[in-house]
């Protein structure tokens, strides 16, 4: 009996060790791919912030469905808009040429990789906004994407204009002709720029100072400048709940999309959407009248 107990203790101890090693194997099976991709990225990319990448093919399908739900546009229409941007060789050539001929060639990649900005583009093509406001211009990739959508809308008889803000006076290197004909950069603190903006905003995207306090201050600043059907986006919603809070406080719906980059170590950001759903508004009014 004593010997049997010793054998059981021995087996129990070693089973725990084997279990530990197997669990480590499971962990590393998830980590090995991003580690491998990180090493490849270190030698093939020059970026150190605002990473650019393509989206996983399935993730792109989810993005199209997400934008379709938010805008009410048909899915095949949104998929067409996404393809439209991906096939825009003029914008790709513009980005490549500007990066390679500027000092940014040491810190940015010349390839046009849009990630979740595909969703930004499809959104603007679907809802045909008159005024878009973007805070945080950086190199101007997002600004060029918005301007490209506005350019297409204008050709279809729906003109629009982009205001982008940035505290860095060197921002917006990509935002040159012909794209800057459809917008302008307001240099200075974003909150102050928003205060002086006398426009009714149809699409607003927060992509500047990502502190929670500053993000919420932007939403409060533009709250009374939004059109009835305005769409508010956050490029920080994967780490901040401020847009969700703003949506709840202003009786708007909120949805979130999570990126899945293709062949990139970065786990991806996301898009937070605050918007007014007409069906929900009708239901709410009915419930209030019945109450």
The CATH number covering residue 136 comes to: 3.40.50.150
Domain residues for the domain of 2 are: 1-44
- Cα–Cα distance, 72 to 78 (Å, whole number): 10
Residue 281's pLDDT band, with cuts at 50, 70 and 90, is very low
pLDDT of residue 282: 34
Residue 13's pLDDT band, with cuts at 50, 70 and 90, is low
Do residues 15 and 75 share a domain?
no
Do residues 23 and 100 share a domain?
no
Residue 193's pLDDT band, with cuts at 50, 70 and 90, is very high
- Report whether pLDDT(126) > 80: yes
pLDDT of residue 117: 97
Written as six digits, the tokens of 17 are 């060790």
pLDDT of residue 216: 97
Do residues 108 and 216 share a domain?
yes
- Report whether pLDDT(234) > 50: yes
Average pLDDT over residues 87-109: 95
Do residues 107 and 25 share a domain?
no
* Distance, C-alpha 135 to centroid of its chain: 13
φ and ψ of 180, to 5 deg? -75, 0
Report yes or no: 152 and 124 within 8 Å, Cβ to Cβ. Answer: no
Residue 54's pLDDT band, with cuts at 50, 70 and 90, is very high
Do residues 186 and 278 share a domain?
yes
pTM of the model: 0.90
Do residues 26 and 128 share a domain?
no
Give percent of the chain with pLDDT exceeding 70.
90
Average pLDDT over residues 63-84: 97
State the average pLDDT for the chain: 91
Q: Give the total number of structural domains in the chain.
A: 2
pLDDT of residue 22: 81
Do residues 189 and 284 share a domain?
yes
φ and ψ of 205, to 5 deg? -130, 125
């Amino acid at each position: 009996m004593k010997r049997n107990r010793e054998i059981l203790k021995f087996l129990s101890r070693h089973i725990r060790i084997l279990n530990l090693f197997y669990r480590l194997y499971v962990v590393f099976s998830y980590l090995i791919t991003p580690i491998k991709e990180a090493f490849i990225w270190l030698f093939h990319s020059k970026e150190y912030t605002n990473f650019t990448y393509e989206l996983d093919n399935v993730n792109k399908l989810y993005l199209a469905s997400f934008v379709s739900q938010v805008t009410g546009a048909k899915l095949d229409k949104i998929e067409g808009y996404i393809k439209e941007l991906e096939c825009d060789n003029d914008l790709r050539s513009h980005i490549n040429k500007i990066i390679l001929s500027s000092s940014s060639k040491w810190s940015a990649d010349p390839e046009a990789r849009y990630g979740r900005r595909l969703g930004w583009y499809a959104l603007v093509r679907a809802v045909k906004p008159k005024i878009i406001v973007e805070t945080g211009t950086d190199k101007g990739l997002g600004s060029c994407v918005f301007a490209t959508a506005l350019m297409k809308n204008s050709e279809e008889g729906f003109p629009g204009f982009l205001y982008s803000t940035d505290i860095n006076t060197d921002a917006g290197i990509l935002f040159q002709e012909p794209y800057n004909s459809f917008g302008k950069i307001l240099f200075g603190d974003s909150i102050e720029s928003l205060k002086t903006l006398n426009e009714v905003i149809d699409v607003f995207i927060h992509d500047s100072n990502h502190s929670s306090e500053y993000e919420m201050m932007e939403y409060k600043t533009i709250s009374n400048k939004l059109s009835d059907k305005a769409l508010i986006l956050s490029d920080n919603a994967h780490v901040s709940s401020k847009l969700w809070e703003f949506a709840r406080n202003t009786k708007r719906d909120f949805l979130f999309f999570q990126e899945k980059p293709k062949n990139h170590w970065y786990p991806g950001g996301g898009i937070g959407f605050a918007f007014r759903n007409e069906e929900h508004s009708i239901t709410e009014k009915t419930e209030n009248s019945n109450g």
